[in-house]
Amino acid sequence: MAFDRKTLVIPDKTLFDEALIMTKGDVVIGDRSLVRFSVHTDGRIFVGEHAIIDGNLNSPQDVRVDIFSSIGGNVQSGGNVYLGEKTKIKGALSLRGDLDVGDSVEIEKGFEAKGWINIRNPVPMVIYIFVYLLQLLKMGRSEEIERILEELEQNDGDTIPISESFLFLPNNSIISISNSKVEGNLQVGKECKLLGNYDVQGNISIEEKSEIFGTLKATGNIYVGKKVKIHGNITSLGIVNITEQADIVGNISAEEISLSKTASIQGTFHAKKGVSFVDSLKEQATEKVKRFENDVDVADEVKELLE
């Protein structure tokens, strides 16, 4: 799966409480981000440069923390731990694998490692690549140089590959109960529970059966999926689409509001271009007619028989 590096991605069944984020899959926290929660996952944890995590990090796999980042609590890892230069852990560090640390790393309450411990003074990556390419050039291996440069160009695009389930926090983001900010979109999966007020410089999408305790504010459009519950106000400079059986306890303000007849709204509407009511059953019937005209239903039935 590919994703936009400016989108906050929260995977299915992620749960927030007052001090902890519990999720599944890899967790990637971008550079210069602030997270006022602890993080617990069954995947790996990657923390970028100059990031601040107020709580603990807990993973049964590897944990990587880049340079100048700060962890306010304990770090527990069932795999290897990599700590960049000037990283600070205000709690204790416990790991079952190898520990690899850069210069001037601080671990205030000590550490326990089952594997090897390596303290390094890393060569900056740009210098390393330059020296490596220079040696290949001296050896006359131009084909190898071209291959490396092509791979570097491919990894410099707008999207990068990632595992199927992941939590991704873009650079310069803030996640807290009082005020969360994202310089991009917000994508919330199914059956999630989120705490906090979200100010998003883009679109917001919330999948079915998720629950939000806080306000939502977006410069783009907001999509509220089936059976979603939101305890707070919704503000959008674009279109707010409230689908069937959604429950909103708060006011809605937008350029335009599209509302399912089966949704429940305990608040007021304010839409410059008006409010339109959508009949989900009528939409499904219209879609089925279109599929029949295009013989899509027949193709699906044959596919099911083959499976």
Residue 300 or residue 305, greater confidence = 300
Give the global pTM: 0.78
Residue 175 reports pLDDT greater than 70? yes
Label residue 306 by pLDDT band (50, 70, 90): very low
Scored b (16 or more CB within 10 A) or e, 189-227 reads bbebbbbbbbbbebbbbbbbbbbbbbbbbbebbbbbbbb
Tens digits of per-residue pLDDT, 65-113? Answer: 999 999 999 999 999 999 999 999 999 999 999 999 988 899 999 989 8
Q: What is the DSSP string of 51-65?
A: -EE-S-EEESS-EEE
Q: Distance between CA atoms of 123 and 220, rounded to whole angstroms?
A: 43
CA 46 to chain centre: 12
| Both tokens assigned to 205 | 């999408």
Residue from 250, 251, 246 nearest 229 by CA:
246
Q: How many Cβ atoms sit within 10 Å of the Cβ of residue 177? A: 16
Alpha helices in 121-263 (DSSP H): 125-138, 142-154
Q: Distance between CA atoms of 34 and 51, rounded to whole angstroms?
A: 6
- The mean per-residue pLDDT over the stretch 103-129 comes to 75
- The mean per-residue pLDDT over the stretch 179-204 comes to 95
Residue 255 reports pLDDT greater than 80? yes
Residue from 32, 7, 37, 1 nearest 176 by CA:
37
Residue ranges per domain, the chain?
Answer: 9-23+42-119, 125-161, 177-281
Residue from 243, 238, 237 nearest 265 by CA:
243
* Predicted pLDDT at 160: 44
Share of the chain above pLDDT 90, in %: 65
